[in-house]
Amino acid sequence: MSDESPVAISGQDVLVTGGAGFIGSNIVEALVPENDVRVLDNLSSGARSNVPSGATFIEGDIRDDATVRHATEGIDIIFHQAGQISVERSFEAPELTHEVNVTATLKLLECARRESARFVFASSAAVYGHPESIPLSEAAPTEPTSPYGASKLAAEQYVRLYDDHYDLQAVSLRYFNVYGAGQVGGDYSAVISVFVDQALNGDPITVDGDGSQTRDFVHVRDVVRANLLAGAADDCDTVFNVGTGESHSILELAEVVRSVAGSESEIVHRRERTGDISDSEADLAAIRSQLGYEPTISIESGMEELITSLE
């Protein structure tokens, strides 16, 4: 994989929703040195301590009209990372998932239109559902298998509409499985962090189903770079995959984590998750050709870095 290099966004007033969370705080960290950055977060899953110094923190809910209007006043770019991100939670609370992931995104798009601000939306590979084949291009069928995936797809349509009809530079990024230091959670997006934590503590490494399901794991710094490229781009498509273009089975991942961590943890299997898909891998042709994105961190080096951060 190629070397990491900075993306030039400077002198901008930037809002990062969900900027106290895992991905959002990493975007803030990349932007703070050269920009005036605001963070809007209700701290439902993020932490105030995650927000890098130099950013202006606004505690509030993206569903609240007054809060969103205040946070977006005078903004040049919005990186919309906030959302209800749990697939399992979306089955328990589909209306809440829609309110947070769709209705609130529409509120932010309206504010972006008012401010003539660029808009970058954190979508998900969950929009694809069960793939007919891999790797998945952006033109692959979108048949989500969960309320979470459906909400991301619906929000993408609003992003596309605002780009097409309101002369707004708006892009959706379909994240595959993001990982890195500081991640918490229980979905596959966090499975590497969970496995590493279990291995370091000597606990059983828990694999859903038989572990044959595959995922494209992308490091958070590569996701940050994709966001910055999208935020600086002109005249590009409105949807891009963000991954590595490589996939690994969950069982293979558990075995590699155990080996790298030097752990004797037992690998145990539990029931399959509701709405789970079998395989996932990103086709990166579009984001490579239009935005110049290249993944920079291999799964092996990313795991070694993560293990070092937790030891």
pLDDT at 71: 99
Q: In terms of C-beta density within 10 A (0-12 exposed, 13-18 middle, 19 or more buried), how is residue 96 classed?
A: middle
Give the separation between CA 31 and CA 280, rounded to whole angstroms: 30
- Rounded to 10 deg, the angle between the 65-72 and 104-115 helix axes is 40
pLDDT along the chain (311 residues), means of 10: 68 98 97 98 95 98 98 99 94 98 99 98 97 96 96 99 96 96 66 89 94 95 98 96 97 92 94 80 99 95 86 72
Q: In terms of C-beta density within 10 A (0-12 exposed, 13-18 middle, 19 or more buried), how is residue 232 classed?
A: middle
Nearest to residue 227, comparing CAs of 55, 20, 53, 27?
27
CA dihedral 121, 122, 128, 130 (to 10 degrees): -170
Q: Which of 128, 148, 179, 188 is catalytic?
A: 148
The answer to whether residues 135 and 187 touch, using CB atoms and an 8 Å cutoff, is: no
Give the separation between CA 121 and CA 131, rounded to whole angstroms: 22
Q: Kindly write down the DSSP assignment for every residue of 125-193, as one continuous string.
A: GGGGBS-SSSSBPTTS--B-SSHHHHHHHHHHHHHHHHHHHS---EEEEEE-EEE-TT---SSGGGHHH
Answer yes or no: 148 catalytic: yes
Question: Which domains are assigned to the chain?
Answer: 13-179+218-244+277-296 (3.40.50.720)
Rounded alpha-carbon distances, angstroms, from residue 188 to 104, 245, 302: 24, 17, 16
pTM score of the predicted model: 0.93
H helix intervals, the chain: 22-31, 65-72, 87-92, 94-98, 104-115, 147-165, 191-201, 220-232, 250-261, 285-291, 299-310
- Rounded to 10 deg, the angle between the 299-310 and 191-201 helix axes is 50
Q: Which residue has the tokens 């996939």?
A: 247
